[in-house]
Amino acid sequence: MADMKKYLVAGEWRAGSESFEVKSPYDGEVVATVSSPTEGDVEDAVQAAADCFDEARKLPVHARAEALAQISKSLIERADEVAEVIAREGGKPLKWAKVEAARAASTFRWAAEETRREGGSMMRLDTEASLGSRLGLIRRFPLGPMLAIAPFNFPVNLVAHKMAPALAVGAPVVIKPATKTPLGALLLGEMFDETALPPGMCSVLPVGGSQAGEMATDDRFAKISFTGSSEVGWKLRAAAPKKAVTLELGGNAGVIVHDDADLARAAQRVAFGGYYQAGQSCIAVQRVLVHESVAAEFTDALVVEVEKLKTGDPMDPETDVGPVIDHDSLERISAWVDEAVQAGAEILTGGKREDPFYTPTVLTQTKDDMKVRCEEIFGPVVTLGTYSDFGQAIAEVNNSNYGLQAGVFTRDLDRIMLAYRDIEVGGLIVNDVSSFRADQMPYGGTKESGTGREGLRWAMNEMTEEKVLVLSEVPL
């Protein structure tokens, strides 16, 4: 019998009259039954956030930092439980679920540390004789209550990336997790509930997408942070033109492997970056470009590495690649690969649908207009191409509607700096794949990949605004 899960409304755990089942993508087993919030619950949560804002924004630094550190400690103490929830509800292999649980603890720890580091700044304003003897004090203040909409693929750490900086700056947050994977967010709600922060500072509402869309237009929210599909994200921004909005959207990341690269390492890292999340990550490797002089050697090495990956039960500690999230995703991935093959692409390995899995796949001989290359496949599929000129490779990486992150394998500093200058992405990873992310670094994209940046300090900046205090006639 699956557990019945309540949702958090400003310190109160509630259950509505309706519910939905969270099922394992691996075997369809019901992991939990989750109560669905009512319209009244949504109203109560939003109003509580609005009512709480004045108190929250005045909280001393130590109160916010200590609460964040407490949540980080809880995540460490309950790491095995958190990892199991991640694996069961989303199908993420347990080895990677453990990594996500540890990263979430780190995210809250970083938020606590950044909270204590925030000190504002001062500037002298006696720079012109006409200005007199004045001093400026500059601090950042929270914009107001925040709506956080999180995706299924990192059901704990991507919630943490919205929740932690909001609590850090004193902004109440209402969290809308993905209904396919709400359990991780509810766990974080439990940990928040154990802190001494005002109850109205956090609610967790596993509502559907349409309700989230309605919430996004509510004037009581000053800020929206959304991670998900480009189609939905840009619609949310258009529907809330006066709000501050951070959008972390899709990608079809490119990786360049030059002829001076460590090919064995590059192959190992591409085999990781393209498949560790069953490709269901916006910075998963999707397009690999290899210098023609080393293409044959790299291709052989990559196929060997990909064929080493174990696909199977996410609860098996040895599993590398789990199932994709649902049947519709499996259908789409399979259709795109079949369509590419019919148009001339060649399968080097994989290319098979084995419900609920899609086997790790490497495709070559793909064309620019094939969906497996020009759109975000969000599945365990990597395309492989060649180039002769490094500038040509940069141009090909840029030949995309997306611009989140990219990777470059080379030992040449000039090529590294050229790629850094010219590749149109929010982050370039050198001698590693696009899939690398340290939780404290600025993270976000260009073009259709979104707007704004996450990463603790950067997210905190986006949830606040500067206010200047001018002290006049002061002795300087």
Catalytic residue ranges:
248, 282
Distance CA 63, CA 48 (A): 20
Residues in the chain: 476
Distance CA 266, CA 256 (A): 10
Distance CA 88, CA 399 (A): 37
CA–CA distances in Å: residue 148 to residues 16, 23, 158, 429, 442:
21, 23, 10, 27, 18
The two structure tokens encoding residue 291: 């210098």
How many CA atoms lie within 13 Å of 388's alpha carbon, on the beta-carbon side?
Answer: 0
CA nearest to 272, candidates 311, 305, 318, 295: 305
Our CA angle for 30, 161, 90, nearest 5°, is 20
Given the DSSP bridges, would you call strands 464-472 and 244-248 parallel, antiparallel or unpaired? unpaired
Q: Is the CB of residue 458 less than 8 Å from the CB of residue 442?
A: yes
CB atoms within 10 A of CB 232: 17
Given the DSSP bridges, would you call strands 346-349 and 361-364 parallel, antiparallel or unpaired? antiparallel
Distance CA 330, CA 324 (A): 6
Q: Is the CB of residue 315 less than 8 Å from the CB of residue 95?
A: no
CB atoms within 10 A of CB 24: 20
Distance CA 462, CA 90 (A): 29
Distance CA 394, CA 373 (A): 15
The two structure tokens encoding residue 126: 């006696």
Q: Which residues pair with 357 in a beta bridge?
A: 354
Cis peptide preceding 356, ω within 30 of 0: yes
Beta strands in 205-243 (DSSP E): 223-227
Given the DSSP bridges, would you call strands 121-124 and 223-227 parallel, antiparallel or unpaired? unpaired
How many CA atoms lie within 13 Å of 395's alpha carbon, on the beta-carbon side?
Answer: 8
